[in-house]
Each structure stands twice: as C-alpha cells, then as structure tokens.
Amino acid sequence: MLALFLKCILGAAVVLLISLLSKSKAFYIAGLVPLFPTFALIAHVIVSQQQGAAALQKTALFGLWSLIPYAIYLLMVYVLASKMSMWSCLGVATLCWIVAAAGLIYGWQVFQQ
C-alpha cells in the first residue's frame, strides 16, 4: 500500500512540475518532463529480472521503434495546432498515435517471430 501511495505522490509531483514549467519562460521544457523514462526504467528492471538480458535487449529495441508513433503524434500536433481547436487537434493526434502503435505492434509480431 505504501508503494502505491508513493507512486501517486510521484505522479502528482510530475504534474505539478509540468504545470509550473508551462507557466515559465521555458514553457517548452514541460514537453520534456513526461519523457523521463520512469516507466521504462520500471519495465526494464522487471523484464530483466523475469526474462533476462536477451529479453531486455528486445524490449529496448521495441522501445526505439515505439518512438515512431510518438513522432507521428507530435508531428500531427505541430501541423494541426493552428488549424483546429486544441481538443480536436489532440484527439486527431491521439488517434494517429493509436493507429501507428497498432501498426507497430502488428509489424513487430509478424517480423519478430
């Protein structure tokens, strides 16, 4: 229970940091904060402990490929930000991320076997 509480506190601290940065002159840094590999570190420790080094390598390689859906999301936000409302822009960008992520997962399953 304590571990869950600490994770909640960490999440709240990250949201607070993003909020503070978004109000500063360096507001763009708020986009970097969520990219700190918190969850990747947790996933890598668990995968390594349960599956070993080879699985950790494969997980890291998949993580590199997973940058493609995120890049598509960011590109869509960049292109659509001045053409749509914020919610429409983010909705379309998220949908593009979902499609790209699904394609990545499908392709990974087909070509990694």
Q: What is the pLDDT of residues 42-77, one digit of tens each?
A: 899 999 999 999 999 999 999 999 999 999 999 999
pTM above 0.75, yes or no: yes
* Cβ neighbours of residue 27 closer than 8 Å, sequence gap 6 or more: 21
Alpha-carbon span 74 to 64, nearest angstrom: 16
DSSP code at position 35: G
At 13-50, the pLDDT tens digits run 989 999 999 999 999 999 998 888 888 988 999 999 99
Residues 66, 104 contacting (CB under 8 angstroms) = yes
How many other β-carbons are positioned within 10 Å of the β-carbon of residue 103? 13
For residue 6 the two structure tokens come to: 């600490």
- Residue 9 and residue 21 in contact, taking contact as beta carbons nearer than 8 Å: no
- pLDDT tier at 2, thresholds 50, 70, 90: confident
Residues 73, 93 contacting (CB under 8 angstroms): yes
